[in-house]
A and B are shown apart, each in its own frame.
Chain A
Amino acid sequence: MMNIRGYGWLLWEGVRLTVAVGVVSMAIAMLLGLIGAWGKLSDSRITRSMAGVYTTVIRGVPELVIILLVYYGVPTLLIDIANVSIDFNPFIAGVLTIGFIYGAFSTEVFRGSYLAVSKGQIEAAMAVGMNRSQMFFRILLPQMWRFALPGLGNVWMVLIKATALVSVIQLPELMRNADVAARSTHKPFTCYFIASLIYLVITIVSLTIQQRAEVWANRGVRKV
């Protein structure tokens, strides 16, 4: 029943692309999350409301609609307003969109973890004369990881499953290739079931890595 007549390699190619899309999107999401959290916590009302609109809108619209909007909408919008035509590569469109969506979720994670670092740490850093970037990289970021990792782990779990949606813009990742295999072999259940088990394996591996990473981030904390 699990024989899919030599289409295994196609799924394997898909897995590699899924992981690549996931990792690159996660990097973009974390970068946007840090910027968004900075915006939400800033003193300026403009950056605060911009970050607020970003998280409110993105978290209220389905991923699929945003993907369709970016992939089909942005090129036509650019032609209409600026008369420039761009050729959107599905990989870049997919990665940017997924990163942009989950940036909104990681914004909240980073904001929470910043607030969880005790204020005395910041005061101490100022007292020893650190400038803002020194304070951020030496004091805040190492401690923020500890509070951010469980939340970022959740974001990653949702993100890697959301990469299946970029199959609608014809990116040959795992879901798309499972689709191709299902059509060619006439065994749709087998193909999609194998694909789902592969996603499950990715989830299990991610959980293990997350636990290791949490142990690492908590290495400076005394255990009871």
Chain B
Amino acid sequence: MDIAIIQENLPRLLQGAVVTVELTAASVAIGLCIAIPFALMRVHKNPLLRIPVYLFNFYFRGTPLLVQIFLIYYGSGQFQHFLTRIGAWTFFRDAWFCAILSLTLNTAAYTSEILRGGIEAIPYGEIEAARACGMSGFLMQRRIVLPKAFRLAWPAYTNEVVFLLQATSLVSIITIMDITGVARMIASRSFAFYEVYITAAVLYLILVYGVLFVFRKVEYRISGHLRSPSLIVS
């Protein structure tokens, strides 16, 4: 075990960790913005809204993320002329854009299914109560349905964020220097394979359990109404 190689390369791996966190944060944030309308469409009565989202989710949940990344990053090359003409080629040429696009679409599919589960688990009485108070559709979604759905779906959403954090390691294959990308580069130069990969694994463990810690804190806060009063006093 060569500790010196780890010490020497730790700053670069930490830079990789920053990239991993940036990719995760960007994809989670944009993915959530897509997932909310998708979840509402997914439970809508109108099949013209429901079925496209169902197919989107089925495709992105049923195929490996690696294929999706390759499909967007390498696959866009097949339409280079068309993409150049509409001025989108500069985006698709960029590995960062393709990475965030594929991670976002992937997490949007999973998150909207999780949110759908939350929406469908809302007791019908609460929706009736909202209607009885005279709330319009949009007001009811904003005040009653979505907050409640989020609270119900939070543990599953925590898992999804952790999976996405781990899934960002795949973008190292399309040349992005996240933790895995940096580790692969250092390993291929120094041949210190297990030292570098174990360090990378430890960094991921810290990130994953850090995210879990934060999300558990949030879960504790948003579930205050479910705790027994004695716990709050003590």
Interface of A toward B, CB cutoff 8 Å = 57, 60-66, 68-69, 72-74, 76-77, 80, 161-165, 167-168, 175, 178-179, 182, 186-190, 192-193, 195-196, 199-200, 203-204
A-B contact pairs, 12 of them (CB 8 A): A60-B205, A64-B180, A65-B183, A68-B180, A68-B184, A72-B187, A72-B197, A76-B192, A161-B65, A167-B66, A182-B70, A199-B62
A77 touches B194 (CB 8 A): yes
A65 touches B63 (CB 8 A): no
The interface residues of chain B lying within 8 Å CB-to-CB of A162 are 64
Interface residues of B in 178-217 (CB under 8 A from A): 179-180, 183-184, 187, 191-194, 197-198, 200-201, 204-205, 208-209
Q: Classify the interface of chain A: helix, strand, loop or mixed.
A: helix
Q: Give the residue name and chain of the B residue nearest to A77 (CB).
A: B194
A200 touches B62 (CB 8 A): yes
Interface size on B, residues (CB 8 A): 42
A61 touches B201 (CB 8 A): yes
B70 touches A179 (CB 8 A): yes
Known: A165-B66, A189-B76. A63 touches B166 (CB 8 A): yes
**Interface segment out of the listed B93-101, B129-137, B167-175, B224-232:** B167-175
B71 located at the interface, meaning its Cβ lies under 8 Å from any Cβ of chain A in the complex: yes
Task: Count A-B contacts at CB 8 Å.
Answer: 121
Interface of B toward A, CB cutoff 8 Å = 1, 58-59, 62-68, 70-71, 74-79, 166-170, 172-173, 179-180, 183-184, 187, 191-194, 197-198, 200-201, 204-205, 208-209
Instruction: Provide the bound-state CA to CA distance between A74 and B195, in Å.
Output: 10
The interface residues of chain A lying within 8 Å CB-to-CB of B170 are 62, 64, 165
The interface residues of chain B lying within 8 Å CB-to-CB of A64 are 169-170, 172, 180
The residue from A65, A74, A200 contacting B59, defined by CB atoms under 8 A apart: A200
The interface residues of chain A lying within 8 Å CB-to-CB of B187 are 68, 72
The residue from B63, B74, B197 contacting A73, defined by CB atoms under 8 A apart: B197
Q: Which 5 A-B pairs have the closest CB atoms?
A: A73-B194, A189-B75, A62-B169, A164-B64, A62-B166
Q: Which residue, of B70, B200, B204, B209, has the highest number of chain A Cβ atoms within 10 A?
A: B70
Q: Which residue, of A65, A72, A76, A189, has the highest number of chain B Cβ atoms within 10 A?
A: A65
A190 touches B200 (CB 8 A): no
A199 touches B78 (CB 8 A): no
Q: Which residue, of A62, A68, A192, has the highest number of chain B Cβ atoms within 10 A?
A: A62
B198 touches A199 (CB 8 A): no
A193 touches B194 (CB 8 A): no
Instruction: Provide the bound-state CA to CA distance between A66 and B68, in Å.
Output: 21
The interface residues of chain B lying within 8 Å CB-to-CB of A196 are 59, 63-64, 67-68, 71
The residue from B62, B71, B76, B201 contacting A65, defined by CB atoms under 8 A apart: B201
Instruction: Provide the bound-state CA to CA distance between A163 and B204, in Å.
Output: 21
Q: Give the residue name and chain of the B residue nearest to A66 (CB).
A: B201
* Closest chain A CB from B150 CB (angstroms): 23
The interface residues of chain B lying within 8 Å CB-to-CB of A63 are 166, 169
The residue from B66, B75, B193 contacting A193, defined by CB atoms under 8 A apart: B75
The interface residues of chain A lying within 8 Å CB-to-CB of B191 are 76
Q: Give the residue name and chain of the A residue nearest to B71 (CB).
A: A192
The interface residues of chain A lying within 8 Å CB-to-CB of B192 are 76
B70 touches A199 (CB 8 A): no
The interface residues of chain B lying within 8 Å CB-to-CB of A76 are 191-194
* Closest chain B CB from A187 CB (angstroms): 6
* Closest chain B CB from A103 CB (angstroms): 17
Q: Which residue, of B77, B79, B201, B205, has the highest number of chain A Cβ atoms within 10 A?
A: B201
* Closest chain B CB from A185 CB (angstroms): 10
Instruction: Provide the bound-state CA to CA distance between A60 and B46, in Å.
Output: 40
* Closest chain B CB from A38 CB (angstroms): 25
Supplied contacts A68-B184, A192-B70, 20 more A-B pairs, CB within 8 Å? A60-B204, A63-B169, A65-B169, A68-B180, A69-B197, A69-B201, A72-B193, A76-B191, A76-B192, A76-B194, A161-B63, A161-B64, A162-B64, A164-B66, A165-B64, A165-B170, A175-B66, A189-B74, A199-B63, A200-B58
Instruction: Provide the bound-state CA to CA distance between A192 and B192, in Å.
Output: 33
The interface residues of chain A lying within 8 Å CB-to-CB of B180 are 62, 64-65, 68
The interface residues of chain B lying within 8 Å CB-to-CB of A188 are 70, 74-75, 77-78
